[in-house]
Amino acid sequence: MALLAASMIALAGLGARRSWRRSHGALDAQLRASESRYRALVKADVRRVASTGQPIYGERAVAFPGGSAWLGTWLVRLDVDEAVGAVMGVSRDLTERKRAEEALVREERVLNELITTIPDNIYVKDRDSRFLKINNAMARWFGLSDPKDAVGKTDGDFFTEEHARQAYADEQRVMDTGPPQLGLEERETWPDGSVTWVSTSKVPIRDASGQIVGLVGVSRDITEHRRAEESLRESARVLLESQRVTRLGSYRMDLASGTWTSSAVLDEIFGIADPGFGRDEPAWLPDRGEGPPLPLRLAPSA
């Protein structure tokens, strides 16, 4: 609906002439096509402006036979010879703007629902690495009852100086240079001496002009995964050490391919020092009759 420029709304009973009202019947027709509630609201606004002399502005949805629209309307009283003559109304079509606002509200609602329910820690920081927003999962991670309690704080308010300093350096590098930081495994140290591990991605946030104004981060707890990896490494180290002490080697044969892998201790026992030694049956065992020799001839046991 186009801009209704300087549309005059005649106010019955306040001296407005019939000829003026007939010449501006377009607005009257629109009002008649609108819902009765809208017409009642407009009339109430007109009476209030006429009685108080104070201009008012309002935004309302208008229903028409062919659809609906949003109008933003200013109402101003016009005085003629110190007497109320009429009320002037200027209306602008706000339909597209309202639709865009409603779409943004829907998107924000979906985003907030996602942020609220996702189990990963999600946070938004400003250019100085202060928290602007965190989700419920991160509030629990910090031991907070309300995510808003983190607003304005930094990592230094929750972690040790060691981790806070490193996290700040990483975030400032992302915001200074632009490329995101993806899948970084961070070691978090806490004031009580505990240690946690997270896989973190940090992406810069830009304003309408393209300037970086902050970042959004997503962290996933991988503490148990890291502990499992460390446990496996420790088990492998203990096994290797026990093999060296007992001079007991081990190997594994892949029956499908005929290749095998062996422990370092087994290689030492058989004198295999060449990393390029073929670890397959032809290299390890001689053929019947002719063939390559064993890499090492074992002395018979006593």
| Domains of the chain, first to last | 4-94 (3.30.450.20), 118-221 (3.30.450.20), 227-284 (no CATH)
- Give the model's pLDDT for residue 142: 97
- Give the model's pLDDT for residue 109: 82
Which helix (H) or strand (E) element contains residue 178? none
Contact 44, 78 (CB under 8 A): no
Alpha-carbon distance of 9 to 88, in angstroms, equals 6
Contact 143, 137 (CB under 8 A): no
Nearest C-alpha neighbor of 1 from the set 87, 62, 75, 56: 62
Q: Which two tokens stand for residue 117?
A: 């329910």
pLDDT in tens, 103-156: 888 888 887 777 777 889 999 999 999 999 999 999 999 999 999 999 999 999
Q: Which two tokens stand for residue 13?
A: 């009973």
CB neighbours (10 Å) of residue 165? 13
Strands (E), the chain: 4-9, 56-64, 67-80, 83-93, 121-126, 131-134, 181-189, 195-206, 212-221, 251-254, 259-262
**DSSP character string of 56-93:** EEEEEEEEETTEEEEEEEEEEEEEETTEEEEEEEEEEE
Nearest C-alpha neighbor of 61 from the set 50, 52, 69: 69
Greatest extent of the chain over all pairs of C-alpha atoms, in Å: 133
* Cα 114 to Cα 111, 189, 205, distances in angstroms: 5, 28, 19
pLDDT in tens, 261-301: 777 777 777 777 776 676 666 665 555 455 445 444 333 33
- Give the model's pLDDT for residue 203: 95
pLDDT in tens, 232-266: 888 778 777 776 767 777 767 777 777 777 777 77
Portion of the chain with pLDDT greater than 70, in percent: 75
Dihedral over alpha carbons 95, 101, 107, 112 (to 10 degrees): -150
Tokens 């602008």 locate to 92
Q: Which two tokens stand for residue 277?
A: 């030694």
- Give the model's pLDDT for residue 226: 85
Under the banding of pLDDT at 50, 70 and 90, the label for residue 29 is low
